[in-house]
Structure 1
Amino acid sequence: MPPIIKCFYIFHFLPGSDSSTAAHCRYPLGMEDGRIKDHDITASSQWYETTGPQYARLNREEGDGAWCPAGLLQPSDTQYLQVDLGQLTFLTVVGTQGRYARNSGKEFARMYRLNYSHDGQLWRSWKNRLGNKTMEANDNAYVSVIKDLHPPIISRYIRLIPVTKMPTTVCMRLELYGCPWHDGLTSYSSPEGQLMMPPGYPIASLNDSTYDGAHERRKLSGGLGQLTDGVTGQDDFLVTRQYHVWPGYDYVGWRNGSLGSGYVEMEFVFDKQRNFTSMKVHSNNMFYRGVKIFSSVSCSFKPRLIANWETEPVEFRTVLDDRNPSARYVTVPLGRRNAKALRCRFHFADVWMMFSEISFQSDLYVFFFLQINEISQLLNTSPSVTTPSTKDQPDDGNTPILIGCLVTIILLLVVIIFLILWCQYVCKVLEKAPRRILEEEVTVRLSSSSDTIILQTPPVPPRVSQMDHPYERVFLLDPQYQDPAGLRNKLPELSRSAETSACGGGYAEPDVTQCTPHQCFQSSVPHYAETDIVSLQGVTGSNMYAVPALTVDSLTRKDISVAEFPRHRLLFREKLGEGQFGEVHLCEAEGLPEFLGEGAPLPDRDGRPVLVAVKQLRADATNNARNDFLKEIKIMSRLNDPNIIQLLCVCVSSDPLCMVTEYMDNGDLNMFLSQREMESTLTHANNIPAVSLSDLLHMSVQISSGMRYLASLNFVHRDLATRNCLLDRRLTIKIADFGMSRNLYSSDYYRIQGRAVLPIRWMAWESILLGKFTTASDVWAFGVTLWEIFTLCKEQPYSLLSDEQVIENTGEFFRNQGRQIFLYAPLLCPPSLFELMMRCWDRDIADRPTFEGLYQALRPHVVQ
């Protein structure tokens, strides 16, 4: 084996699996800002030199303002605009415009198709999850239309093909969004997925429906599909993250014995030879339905595609779990083996095996040295000779050249080693250095979970290279969530130090005129007044409520005001989430209405078990966590409001400690709204789930009422959002605190070292910069929650900003120089209501409305 140098790619693994990993990979790739060069943009034809492909840049007006193919575009034509991205890229979003040309252009494309290729030779056609190849584009020449790709594309070359139904002139401008595909996987091969037809359950089609390779003799080969689309399946494989698809859609599954062996064989081919660290396989484990993670796996390696498989495979045996039915990632160590292709055999542990994502962690394997004997041969010397003789070594004139090459290689090696050590040093420094709010204007990257967004105003040109933001695969590395105090390592400005800062000292709001954020952060910025507030970190990872210090006495009483419920009457149905020391389960409680008696806040179930949420303390919880759990019970027992989730009973006579709270049939408000459209003739005709404007206003009033109640008790929620609002069949809302503990919403929280921490997109600027949580900061979050409601939760707040840019934007609120970025006005939102939202986001805390004022302002809009 020759000496080598390995170039390392650093991956940041994020927790949880929201509906799409693509939400973390939505950076502009360089059409608008010029990072994609003119020679990388080509076309099948052009009308004039001034409408060539180099002018197809979104929001740019050079030349005649766009790319226009020659002549009238006919319905049968295949004109295309081609972009070479320079490397394999995970493409998630496409933005298009027509030719505006300073109000002189009127040409645009109403539809288009996408073709893509890894090598520029073999081209594939993109189609959505329902098989449609055509995407709707523009209906005028100047407005940007942004389309999400479901599924995303992994490719280097992209062709955009305008489509028309009648002869017309077409012009287009373009931006592509995504990030580099550093996994390096170019294709995988496997048996086709199969149908599962269990008695009493819906038929589950477990095929790889988005696979783009060959499909012959029940074998998939040469392509990529659902196992690399960034969407992880849920615990129940029949429940899908996509809308209008069949049960089992998110998984590829096989039945034991159907393949003629006790295993599923898959082959993986990569762009280059790599040094493999591990493989991560997201597997279903619904064991009571005959589905389990694989019992073992054996992986063989091939250094080159034309070589034979190496004889010594890597074998790994999993630890099977018959107690927790949750889907999970299984990490398979690959022992730093070098290969360009892998063949893995996954052995069955039960009747069925199902995967939703497979990914690899590896380093590029690069040779910088020749073997010493090869160098010796080049120099025509023997490795054992230390002082060559001029008689034995002929002087053919090539020796100086060869020595020069060798010296160049050695110098290159020294430079690379220096760069690696320097990068490691910089990384360590950055871990310790304070995060500072940038003085320069905030940059914007596109990020949206909705299919279509109309941008009426030109976006700010991005200044950040896509190379700074590689595609981040989402893995369930660790269900634990870090306490907000851990932010000190990432954001030292949230330090709890009580020392006087350069901004005026104490815990008062800093005066903008006294120092810049840089100066403030260089000093010790206080967290919040410990004498004013007591923070309770829920054991399931949630900040339940921050309560006034005057309630400490009530927290230390030994009595618990709710009844002890028989533990054996709680029947497990589903795990909703988990935290560092606890879990949240959806359970059925038998006989709960009779146990609680009259006046219990429970729906009429006609004697059937009642759905409840059960918070359970883990057996390995610390004493501090146990005490916090009891404190949380005592706090929850104090709350009694129609719009606040209520503690019903407890199980604390024996371990594990449990608290039983209400749970609503319609789940959380975020999921409820994201699966609906606004009520219209179309929704009625097609039986599409819908909500009305009156429904949205009614929800808003209920949330303001519940928060008004908490504010009257001086309770600060700290995590108000639609994910923390539960909804019953009558659209009654109750505010809860499960959001942070649910893997589904992990991307809503700012992460440190792979753990969710703070919901920064919902937090007021003073909460992010100063750690100051008050009722006024809850009002800010209420404004964001209203924005979620009136966008039907179709996208994340500040979806145009990365997490870091959200923090940078808070610095603009701090400086208050008119450069801060606000959430846009939702199309469904009445102007007066958006004005109310804007008041919630007032820079000055004292100028924000109270929850009483918000309730009184919203209530008249609801039809009684």
Structure 2
Amino acid sequence: MHLFLLLILQATAAFGQIDPAHCRYALGMEDGRIKDDDITASSQWYETTGPQYSRMNREEGDGAWCPEDNPSDAQYLQVDLGKLTFLTVVGTQGRYARYSGNEFARAYRLNYSRDGLLWKSWMNRLGNTVMEGNKNAYTSVINDLHPPIITRYVRLIPVPKLSTTVCMRVELYGCLWEDGLISYSAPEGQIMMPPGYPIASFNDSTYDGAHERRKLLGGLGQLTDGVIGLDDFLLTRQYHVWPGYDYLGWRNDSLGSPGFVEMEFVFDRKRNFTSMKVHSNNMFTRGVKIFSSVSCWFKPRLIADWEVEPVSFKTVLDDRNPSARYVTVPLNRRAAKSLRCRFYFADFWMMFSEISFQSEDTILPSLIPIVSTVPQVKMESTMSTPPMTAANVSASDPPDDGKTPILIGCLVTIILLLVIIIFLILWCQYVCKVLEKAPRRILDEEVTVRLSSCSDTIILQTPPVPPRSGHAPTGPTNTDPHYERVFLLDPQYQNPAVLRNKLPELSQSAEASACGGGYAEPDVTQCTPHQCFHSNAPHYAETDIVRLQGVTGSNMYAVPALTVDSLTRKDISAAEFPRQQLIFREKLGEGQFGEVHLCEAEGLPEFLGEGSPLPDRDGRSVLVAVKQLRADATSQARNDFLKEIKIMSRLNDPNIIRLLCVCVSSDPLCMVTEYMENGDLNMFLSQREIESTLTHANNIPSVSLSDLLHMSVQISSGMTYLASLNFVHRDLATRNCLLDRRLTIKISDFGMSRNLYSSDYYRIQGRAVLPIRWMAWESILLGKFTTASDVWAFGVTLWEIFTLCKEQPYSLLSDEQVIENTGEFFRNQGRQIFLYGPPLCPPSLFELMMCCWSRDIPDRPTFEGLYQALKPHVNQ
């Protein structure tokens, strides 16, 4: 038997991919290979129920680990596995203590970390984070981790259930992560809409790193989970997930890079690499092939430069066999701690399901004496395949001659000195630049800038100075050292209250002016950037504003307090939907107190009955977006969530996302809204070209100019409806516009909660995130959000539409430069930078955009005027 296990391990390593079905060895809680010092806990009830007594099938002490208080997120049992481990199974027991104990955890969560600093929450492939625990104090319950995780540190966190006291004994199963890969970075996966087939999503749904600027950074996911994709990428092996789940895939013409995908791999230590194995799809009948060639560069240390000479390898393309296959890339025993590889396209699509590396560091013969001496584990299991018994596989560590710490200390000292020198050089350059600009920026006083947030006004300020005689105070006397940036602008910003007195149009209602009076049939060709039409309706209300911070981090809507009172006096009008009929498909985003999930709603059309807002689905399942409040949400977040439900339930417009039903009879609270099958407008347009004979001839996804105009009209119509209710959206952009298959647009508010669009928001340390590239100058500098500022954002949204979302607004400006540009808008001395006119945009429509970006609020059009101006273009 032991020889058989050894052969399995050797075969797995030789093949280049770890197999979760065989990587199920006890890691040493029960037999003591994990030492007491490596088992810690947040607290313990008595010394005899400390973490060292949490070993499976052992009865030392009082029989188990028991936390001091009832289970909560603050209580955990932590295990240090010593090395990176491929963890596949977790087993738990309660406290039996030879018939004297009856405490156990009915459910628990799992957190993990590869470095002991950054902790991540495990969730299964359906998005659930809670695992079923024990039903009594003596029977062991085994839970397979789908997906498995690569980690060194593990925390088991009991979940409160029926308010019972908990105690735990634990065993962990897996095997050593010999690959050594600790993170990979790559472009985010994309969506395919094959004719006659459901939408296929090739995103890395289990990736545990960051999502920034549409890139995956610093984590691991489906490329290292041991699951090989099938030949047909629209099929999945199990788990009832969406088509394309097993693959991370990219389309050639939708990437900014010229015909390749660049990935970076970081390892736990410097290794001598012999080969890389990439499992790639080759269904050429659907435009998918293995990569045509690959070039890899090597970096010996994290702080070193990439070596100039790459290793290149050209594959032999196969147009006969559509089977997915491993492609082995020789790496010529090059030594490195990091690799950067460029995989070149051979067709429209390229898809990977697994990537593994082989190096000369793997030493399998050392397994022979260890495997033969490990005792057998006995337990009752709820799994069909129980964990195997084997030791922690490890390679021998190199001997330490005593000089290594000294060398490391010298290197660290040198590095710190270099960092300090570089910092001083950069600081001197920055000070010189500020002094060069001082004649225009600063007169004789320190200045303060107000930078708006969603919930309050954030003040970025320099240290205050005492006011001089005859001068206004320079700002509040309290300083906050935690702000990231300080912007030095004109002295007119010394006191925002004084600034408002200088600008009467900001302190009075924006009533109609003499700029054309009432507008019935506007002619946009007569509208100049400084002479734009508007109606007699006020742009915004000067009443108190209630700003609901959406639980997922999104803005929701800002509405006058009187409107909220009138909307929330009644009970929730949305019907209660059975939550067991919601089937998880994908997590769309998350915020501080909640998450947004893409789900299938079984039987929803029948539940809603006649008059349902759902379109004809032709017998297909109904996709919905589910906002869910987290269990640890504050009472304020819970109240805001219920208010958001009440407000959303009253919104009724063809171009505003609809609240369909709710799940509020029990926790977690959920609201179910429409979700359009074509996703958001930004992703939809960025994957298309303007319609032409070339796109038709080559079957390239395209969109017509008429389609773009129709989309613009729909957005203006939906915003007209919100403006009629004095609702201020505050985050209007293409990422917040959803489309169905008939190109019907619904305005939503999910954008801020999605990692995909994190780069569209400017983060103020510890406070808020702001979509500054879409915000009017008065919103950024004065914290003023009105319907007129939504009009400004609508102009930027039009610009996005007619550039097909190929670039970010003001893409050549940094975030700081965008904020500085708002000061130029206020000064209005001709130095402000406008967005350029998109080549696809008719001149009259670009003039309309310029009207939306007028410096003075009364000069901006209303949404009703915009709708009337855009509507005739659709019929042309």
Query: 2:572 and 2:694 mapped to 1: Cα distance?
Result: 52
Q: Is the 8 A contact 1:14 1:755 kept in 2?
A: no
Structure 2 unaligned regions, length at least 5? 1-207, 218-249, 298-309, 314-327, 366-384, 386-390, 442-451, 464-470, 476-487, 501-505, 508-541
Counterpart of 2:655 in structure 1 is: 643
Do the aligned partners of residues 422 and 624 (structure 1) sit closer, same or farther apart at CA in structure 2, a change above 3 Å counting?
Answer: farther
Match of 1:194 among 278, 292, 315: 278
Do the aligned partners of residues 797 and 697 (structure 1) sit closer, same or farther apart at CA in structure 2, a change above 3 Å counting?
Answer: same
Counterpart of 1:522 in structure 2 is: 494
Do the aligned partners of residues 261 and 692 (structure 1) sit closer, same or farther apart at CA in structure 2, a change above 3 Å counting?
Answer: farther
| Structure 2 residue 822 is the aligned partner of structure 1 residue 810 | yes
Q: Is the 8 A contact 2:457 2:783 kept in 1?
A: no
Which range moved further: 211-220 or 564-573?
211-220
Do the aligned partners of residues 621 and 502 (structure 1) sit closer, same or farther apart at CA in structure 2, a change above 3 Å counting?
Answer: same
Q: Is the 8 A contact 1:779 1:848 kept in 2?
A: yes
The one-letter code of the counterpart of 1:741 is S
Do the aligned partners of residues 816 and 309 (structure 1) sit closer, same or farther apart at CA in structure 2, a change above 3 Å counting?
Answer: farther
Q: Is the 8 A contact 1:542 1:741 kept in 2?
A: yes
Do the aligned partners of residues 223 and 758 (structure 1) sit closer, same or farther apart at CA in structure 2, a change above 3 Å counting?
Answer: farther
Match of 1:211 among 296, 309, 312: 296
| Structure 2 residue 351 is the aligned partner of structure 1 residue 248 | yes
Match of 1:596 among 596, 608, 615: 608
Query: 1:838 and 1:547 mapped to 2: Cα distance?
Result: 27
Do the aligned partners of residues 423 and 858 (structure 1) sit closer, same or farther apart at CA in structure 2, a change above 3 Å counting?
Answer: same
Do the aligned partners of residues 420 and 486 (structure 1) sit closer, same or farther apart at CA in structure 2, a change above 3 Å counting?
Answer: farther
Query: 1:763 and 1:504 mapped to 2: Cα distance?
Result: 26
The alpha-carbon deviation at position 194 of structure 1 amounts to 2.8
Query: 2:436 and 2:664 mapped to 1: Cα distance?
Result: 46
Query: 1:436 and 1:638 mapped to 2: Cα distance?
Result: 55
Q: Deviations over 1:150-203 (max 9, x none)?
A: 769999xxxxxxxxxxxxxxxxxxxxxxxxxx999999947413326799x998
Q: Deviations over 1:571-607 (max 9, x none)?
A: 0000001111110000000000010011111122244
Which range moved further: 210-219 or 836-845?
210-219
Q: Deviations over 1:551-570 (max 9, x none)?
A: 23235436101100000000
Do the aligned partners of residues 621 and 732 (structure 1) sit closer, same or farther apart at CA in structure 2, a change above 3 Å counting?
Answer: same
Q: Is the 8 A contact 1:195 1:207 kept in 2?
A: no
The one-letter code of the counterpart of 1:843 is R
Q: Is the 8 A contact 1:561 1:634 kept in 2?
A: yes
Q: Deviations over 1:87-109 (max 9, x none)?
A: xxxxxxxxxxxxxxxxxxxxxxx
Query: 1:596 and 1:437 mapped to 2: Cα distance?
Result: 66
Do the aligned partners of residues 219 and 788 (structure 1) sit closer, same or farther apart at CA in structure 2, a change above 3 Å counting?
Answer: same
The alpha-carbon deviation at position 623 of structure 1 amounts to 0.7
Q: Is the 8 A contact 2:212 2:758 kept in 1?
A: yes
SS in 2 for 1:641: coil
Q: Deviations over 1:121-149 (max 9, x none)?
A: xxxxxxxx9999xxxxxxxxxxxxxx966
Q: Deviations over 1:829-850 (max 9, x none)?
A: 0000000000000000100000
Do the aligned partners of residues 534 and 491 (structure 1) sit closer, same or farther apart at CA in structure 2, a change above 3 Å counting?
Answer: farther
Query: 1:756 and 1:186 mapped to 2: Cα distance?
Result: 40
SS in 1 for 2:632: coil
TM-score, L = length of structure 1: 0.50
Query: 1:556 and 1:531 mapped to 2: Cα distance?
Result: 18
Q: Deviations over 1:488-514 (max 9, x none)?
A: 265799xxxxxxx96999xxxxxxxxx
Q: Is the 8 A contact 2:282 2:290 kept in 1?
A: no
Q: Deviations over 1:260-311 (max 9, x none)?
A: 9999xxxxxxxxxxxxxxxxxxxxxxxxxx9xxxxx99999xxxxxxx9744
Do the aligned partners of residues 782 and 436 (structure 1) sit closer, same or farther apart at CA in structure 2, a change above 3 Å counting?
Answer: farther
Query: 2:291 and 2:410 mapped to 1: Cα distance?
Result: 32
Counterpart of 1:698 in structure 2 is: 710
Query: 2:831 and 2:838 mapped to 1: Cα distance?
Result: 21
Structure 1 segment 385-396 matched on structure 2, within 5 A: none
| Structure 2 residue 562 is the aligned partner of structure 1 residue 545 | no
Counterpart of 1:662 in structure 2 is: 674
Q: Is the 8 A contact 2:273 2:358 kept in 1?
A: no
Q: Is the 8 A contact 2:210 2:216 kept in 1?
A: no
| Structure 2 residue 398 is the aligned partner of structure 1 residue 365 | no
Q: Is the 8 A contact 2:252 2:348 kept in 1?
A: no
Q: Deviations over 1:781-836 (max 9, x none)?
A: 00000000000000000011000000000000010000000000000000000000
Counterpart of 1:767 in structure 2 is: 779
Which range moved further: 825-834 or 543-552?
543-552
Counterpart of 2:34 in structure 1 is: none
Do the aligned partners of residues 130 and 619 (structure 1) sit closer, same or farther apart at CA in structure 2, a change above 3 Å counting?
Answer: closer
Match of 1:783 among 795, 802, 805: 795
Counterpart of 2:165 in structure 1 is: none
Q: Deviations over 1:231-285 (max 9, x none)?
A: 9xxxxxxxx9x99653535x7524999x99999xxxxxxxxxxxxxxxxxxxxxx
Q: Is the 8 A contact 2:628 2:670 kept in 1?
A: yes
Match of 2:572 among 548, 560, 574: 560
Structure 1 unaligned regions, length at least 5? 1-12, 23-128, 133-146, 156-181, 232-239, 264-289, 291-295, 301-307, 314-335, 341-361, 369-412, 443-481, 494-500, 506-515
Query: 1:687 and 1:225 mapped to 2: Cα distance?
Result: 43
The alpha-carbon deviation at position 337 of structure 1 amounts to 8.5
SS in 2 for 1:584: strand
The alpha-carbon deviation at position 736 of structure 1 amounts to 0.4
The one-letter code of the counterpart of 2:777 is W
Counterpart of 1:628 in structure 2 is: 640
The one-letter code of the counterpart of 2:587 is K
The alpha-carbon deviation at position 521 of structure 1 amounts to 3.6
Do the aligned partners of residues 649 and 849 (structure 1) sit closer, same or farther apart at CA in structure 2, a change above 3 Å counting?
Answer: same
Q: Deviations over 1:378-419 (max 9, x none)?
A: xxxxxxxxxxxxxxxxxxxxxxxxxxxxxxxxxxx9x98997
SS in 2 for 1:211: strand
Counterpart of 2:722 in structure 1 is: 710
SS in 2 for 1:769: helix
Counterpart of 2:849 in structure 1 is: 837
Counterpart of 2:458 in structure 1 is: 488
Q: Is the 8 A contact 2:588 2:596 kept in 1?
A: yes
Question: What percent identity do the matched residue pairs reach?
Answer: 64
TM-score, L = length of structure 2: 0.50
Do the aligned partners of residues 697 and 204 (structure 1) sit closer, same or farther apart at CA in structure 2, a change above 3 Å counting?
Answer: same
| Structure 2 residue 829 is the aligned partner of structure 1 residue 744 | no
Do the aligned partners of residues 488 and 191 (structure 1) sit closer, same or farther apart at CA in structure 2, a change above 3 Å counting?
Answer: farther
Query: 2:705 and 2:414 mapped to 1: Cα distance?
Result: 63
SS in 1 for 2:548: strand
Do the aligned partners of residues 152 and 660 (structure 1) sit closer, same or farther apart at CA in structure 2, a change above 3 Å counting?
Answer: closer
Query: 1:645 and 1:806 mapped to 2: Cα distance?
Result: 30
Q: Is the 8 A contact 1:541 1:741 kept in 2?
A: yes
Do the aligned partners of residues 787 and 260 (structure 1) sit closer, same or farther apart at CA in structure 2, a change above 3 Å counting?
Answer: same
**What number of residue pairs does the alignment pair up?**
508
Match of 2:213 among 6, 13, 18: 18
The alpha-carbon deviation at position 862 of structure 1 amounts to 0.6
Do the aligned partners of residues 681 and 662 (structure 1) sit closer, same or farther apart at CA in structure 2, a change above 3 Å counting?
Answer: same
Counterpart of 2:173 in structure 1 is: none
SS in 2 for 1:192: strand
Query: 1:782 and 1:575 mapped to 2: Cα distance?
Result: 28
Query: 1:594 and 1:225 mapped to 2: Cα distance?
Result: 57
Counterpart of 1:275 in structure 2 is: none
Do the aligned partners of residues 756 and 485 (structure 1) sit closer, same or farther apart at CA in structure 2, a change above 3 Å counting?
Answer: closer
Query: 1:759 and 1:555 mapped to 2: Cα distance?
Result: 28
Query: 1:851 and 1:548 mapped to 2: Cα distance?
Result: 18
Counterpart of 2:734 in structure 1 is: 722
